[in-house]
Amino acid sequence: MKYSNTVYGYKDGKEVIEYRLVNNQGNVFRCLNYGAVVTAIEIPDRSGQVENVVLGFDHLKDYIKDSPYFGAIVGRVAGRIKDGRWGELQLTKNEGQNHIHGGNQNFSQVVWDSEMITGADYTGVLFTHTSPADDNGYPGNLKVQVTYYWTNDNCWKMKIKAVTDETTLFNPTNHTYFNLSGNVKRTILDHTLQVSSDTFAETDREKCPTGRLLSVEGTPFDFRKPVRIGHAIHKQPSGYDTPFKLTSGFIQLFDDSSGRKLTIQTDREAVVVFSTTGMNEDYLVAGEKMSSHRGIALETQELPDAVHHPQFQSIVIHPGHTYTCQTEYQFSVEDTLS
Ligand code: BGC
């Protein structure tokens, strides 16, 4: 295993470092201490061609200016909180009347402290950040640790820990957009997606959950068996920006043309699937304008807007308790989907 780090730029007078982790197979995982952003995961296809399978930019200025949370850790709370209200508390309203992804200067937009770590079968990076009390209206000084491990068998493991000194909210995610075709040479419409989910959260016009969990049975939201994403979107033309409640924490993405497979295993309650349908941006990703279906974000988290829906898992955390969660992203190559 090898690793190196280089200065990628500066933000708020702080050095932004890019870590390059190389496993025993020669496959590369790159990430920044800015937003704990995963900038690249370079793995082989069926013929051995090594290419990047996540969306990202080439320069820090693009991450700062344009990023729709490419590769980043999102928090304190991922997704929307209706009216930015938690009881008597008013959180920043940074999307119309609602709060989204932790507000302004959230976890994705700050430089984290970081250090390299190594173990018997991995190299990794430990990121730490303290979000001060009243950050975007949230109570409590919240100390967060995010650890990325890149293992010799092409698994990216993510562990998150946090402690607070006042009761507060916490529902972090990683917001990587995947495209297994390699270097974004095709859209994700030919990928197949499988999600271990019997129910999804209905959302209103502002994409906030209504509180109703609907059965996937007989709907375009049924991914219990692998479904070609293009086929699903044909039935659901507005695409997916959808919280799925997980039954076993299993999510799988497969690209038959390249043979690349991503198997996600998480201990979180849900995954928000964001298919980028309708995205039409001025910025470039892999040399072309960002548009519909150039990637798919699979955001493991607790169900969004949980503070308004007692039937969703609570995201309240208390002093004296260490919050932990983890998600593993295993990459492999398959002839066919078994
Ligand atoms: C949300 C989308 C949003 C995207 C970028 C996703 O997590 O669900 O609605 O457009 O993040 O902010």
Residue 282, pLDDT above cutoff 90: yes
pLDDT of residue 44: 98
- Convert 45-82 to b/e letters by CB count within 10 Å (16 or more is b): beeeeebbbbbbbeebeebeeebbbbbbbbbbbbbbbb
Whether residue 274 has its Cβ less than 6 Å from ligand 1 = yes
Structure tokens at 185: 């040479």
Asked whether the predicted pLDDT for residue 278 surpasses 80, the reply is yes
Using only the alpha carbons of the chain, give its radius of gyration: 19
pLDDT tens digits for range 134-166: 999 999 999 999 999 999 999 999 999 999 999
Burial class (CB in 10 A: 0-12, 13-18, 19+), 12: exposed
- The CB of 299 under 6 Å from ligand 1? The reply is yes
Q: Among all chains, which residue has been given the structure tokens 């829906």?
A: 309
Among 37, 73, 101, 240, which is best to mutate for testing ligand 1, by the most ligand atoms less than 8 A from CB?
101
Q: What Cα–Cα distance (Å) separates residue 159 from each residue in 146, 149, 206, 266, 323?
A: 6, 9, 31, 10, 11
In tens, the pLDDT along 86-138 reads: 999 999 999 999 999 999 999 999 999 999 999 999 999 999 999 999 999 99
Distance 200 CA to ligand 1 centre (A): 16
User: Could you give the percent of the chain with pLDDT greater than 70?
Assistant: 100
pLDDT in tens, 31-75: 999 999 999 999 999 999 999 999 999 999 999 998 999 999 999
> Three-state SS across 66-125?
HCCCCCCEECCECCEEHHHEECCEECCCCECCEEECCCCCCHHHCECEEEEEEECCEEEE
Yes or no: say if 188 and 293 are a contact pair by the CB < 8 Å rule: yes
Residue with tokens 């702080």: 14
Q: What are phi and psi of 60, to 5 degrees?
A: -55, -40
217: annotated active-site residue: no
User: Given a cut of 80, is residue 326 above it in pLDDT?
Assistant: yes
> Where do the domains of the chain lie, and which CATH numbers do they carry?
2-333 (2.70.98.10)
Span 289-317, average pLDDT: 98
Q: Is 62 helix (H, G, I), strand (E, B) or coil?
A: helix
The DSSP annotation for 179-237 comes to -TTSTT-S-GGGEEEEE--SEEEEE-TTS-EEEEEEE-TTSTT--SS-EEHHHHHHHST
**Confidence class of residue 12 from pLDDT cuts 50, 70 and 90?**
very high
Catalytic residue flag (residue 299) = yes
**How far is the C-alpha of 52 from the C-alpha of 71, rounded, in Å?**
13
Residue type, 209: P
Ligand 1 proximity of 60 Cβ (cutoff 6 Å):
no
Q: What is the pLDDT of residues 195-233, one digit of tens each?
A: 999 999 999 999 999 999 999 999 999 999 999 999 999
- Confidence label for 24 from pLDDT (cuts 50, 70 and 90): very high
Taking the centre of ligand 1 as the mean of its atom positions, its distance from the CA of residue 285, in whole angstroms, is: 17
Alpha carbon of residue 221 to chain centroid: 20
Give residue 335's pLDDT band: very low, low, confident or very high (50, 70, 90): confident
Q: What are the structure tokens assigned to 226, written together?
A: 């692998």
Instruction: Find out whether the beta carbon of 69 lies less than 6 Å from any atom of ligand 1.
Output: yes
> For atom 9 of ligand 1, which residue has the closest CA?
241
Question: Does ligand 1 lie within 6 Å of residue 200's CB atom?
Answer: no
Q: State in Å: Cα 89 to ligand 1 middle.
A: 23
pLDDT the model gives residue 314:
98
Of ligand 1's listed atoms, the one at least distance from the Cα of 304 is: 8
pLDDT tier, 170 (very low <50, low <70, confident <90, very high otherwise): very high
pLDDT band for 7, please (50, 70, 90 cuts): very high
Average pLDDT of the chain, as a whole number: 97
pLDDT at 238 over 80: yes
Q: How many Å from the N-terminal Cα to the C-terminal Cα in the chain?
A: 30
* Amino acid residing at 331: F
* Residue 338: predicted pLDDT: 67
The Cα–Cα gap between 6 and 102 comes to 29
Query: Is the Cβ atom of 272 under 6 angstroms away from ligand 1?
Result: yes
The answer to whether the CB of 70 is under 6 A from ligand 1 is: no
Mutate to test the pocket of ligand 1, among 274, 301, 303 (most ligand atoms within 8 A of CB): 274
**CA–CA distance, 195 with 224 (Å, rounded to integer):** 5
Residue position matching structure tokens 């798919």: 296
- Determine the average pLDDT of the residues in 291-318: 98
C-alpha 332: how far from its chain's center?
A: 19
Is the pLDDT at 268 greater than 80? The verdict is yes
Q: Can you tell me which atom of ligand 1 is nearest the CA of 173? A: 7
Mean pLDDT, residues 11-26: 97
* Residue 337 in this model has a pLDDT that exceeds 90: no
pLDDT value, residue 2: 85
Parallel, antiparallel, or unpaired for β 227-228 and 177-178? unpaired
Q: Which of 18, 299, 302, 328 is catalytic?
A: 299
Instruction: For residue 242, report the distance from its CA to the centre of ligand 1, in Å.
Output: 10
DSSP secondary structure of 300-328:
EESPTTGGG-TTSPP-EE-TT--EEEEEE
Residue of minimum CA distance from atom 6 in ligand 1 = 274
Closest Cα to atom 12 of ligand 1: 68
